[in-house]
Amino acid sequence: MTTIPESHQDLLRSQFATLATIDDDGYPQLTEVIFLYDDEDGKVKFSLNRARYKTQYLEKRPKCSVFLLDLENPQRFLELRGRADVASDPDYVFADRVGAKYGGMDLRRMDQPGESRVVVTVEPVRVHAWTTPSRS
Amino acid sequence: MTTIPESHQDLLRSQFATLATIDDDGYPQLTEVIFLYDDEDGKVKFSLNRARYKTQYLEKRPKCSVFLLDLENPQRFLELRGRADVASDPDYVFADRVGAKYGGMDLRRMDQPGESRVVVTVEPVRVHAWTTPSRS
């Protein structure tokens, strides 16, 4: 139920993920973000600025979904529904691991003075891998 | 709040949308689907098989989100949060309008005998247009 099939593992190395949270009015809230698939524990993680709405929503309501779309073939995707664990990243240790994936990008430059950053780790409860025309 | 900026209107003509519903356990549920932007009333609509999980979720919980990603530049996207109105499409009238967008695709071929199809119309409550690097 939470195993990622071989056919879709390449999507864990892609550049962007759609992260879905639940907003304060109960609507899904979707944004496109950079992410890291952590080989050490096999989990999808995000480095988020704590001030962002999505971070606030995840702190209040951990249920989320990560959607990895094959941009070359949008009829192939991987969805991981799960619970978000939000932890502080005061020294940008995790942010720098994410930055390394993106050619050494410095995530500090995205933040204003006084802002802080968190590590969001998604504990999957359900994995949905899809290929071929979407049965809409 | 629900106006779609000129800069992102092209995305209403794209081929696929990510549709987010809320599943029975309260998690966001995301799938990639074909859609139609209806010029007549300016609304995003889907032709869905009634048997699909997403349709069942929308019938129970209308709060949803439609995410239109620029596949050429995933740092540009349009998100429409709204309420889904679900109506029967017994004669495939709307399904054929969607099919016409996709080169005359016949949506009947996606359905099994005895299955039925609905029109899902999203009444937007919030529009979020984004360009430039995602502030994650």
pLDDT tens for residues B74-113? 999 999 999 999 999 999 999 999 999 999 999 999 999 9
Tens digits of per-residue pLDDT, B54-77?
999 999 999 999 999 999 999 999
B51 close to B100: Cβ distance less than 8 angstroms: no
- Average pLDDT over chain A reads 95
**How far is residue A128 CA from its own chain's centroid?**
15
Report how far residue B38's alpha carbon sits from residue B44's, in angstroms, rounded to the nearest whole number.
6
Nearest CA in chain A to B46: A136
Residues of B within 8 A of A67 (CB-CB) are 18, 30
- Does residue A111 come out as left (phi exceeding 0), alpha (psi in the -120 to 50 range) or beta? beta
**H-type helices in A18-125, by residue range?**
53-60, 93-101
Report yes or no: A70 at the B interface, CB cutoff 8 Å: no
Query: Residue A20: which of B20, B47, B107 has the nearest Cβ?
Result: B20
Q: Distance (Å) from the C-alpha of residue A133 to the closest C-alpha of chain B?
A: 9
CA dist list (Å): B31 to A6, A18, A50, B22, B73: 20, 11, 27, 12, 20
The strand pair at A43-49 and A28-33 is best described as unpaired
Is residue A32 pLDDT above 90, yes or no?
yes
B134 close to B11: Cβ distance less than 8 angstroms: no
Report how far residue A108's alpha carbon sits from residue A93's, in angstroms, rounded to the nearest whole number.
11
Residues of A within 8 A of B28 (CB-CB) are 20-22, 28, 30, 63-65, 81
**Rounded mean pLDDT of A95-109?**
97
A120 close to A58: Cβ distance less than 8 angstroms: yes
Lowest model confidence (mean pLDDT) among A67-71, A113-117, A131-135, B49-53? A131-135
Q: What is the ipTM of this complex?
A: 0.95
**Rounded mean pLDDT of B19-36?**
98
Task: Name the amino acid, one letter, at B56.
Answer: Q
Report yes or no: A74 at the B interface, CB cutoff 8 Å: yes
The DSSP 8-state label assigned to residue A71 in this structure reads T
Q: Distance (Å) from the C-alpha of residue B40 to the closest C-alpha of chain A?
A: 22
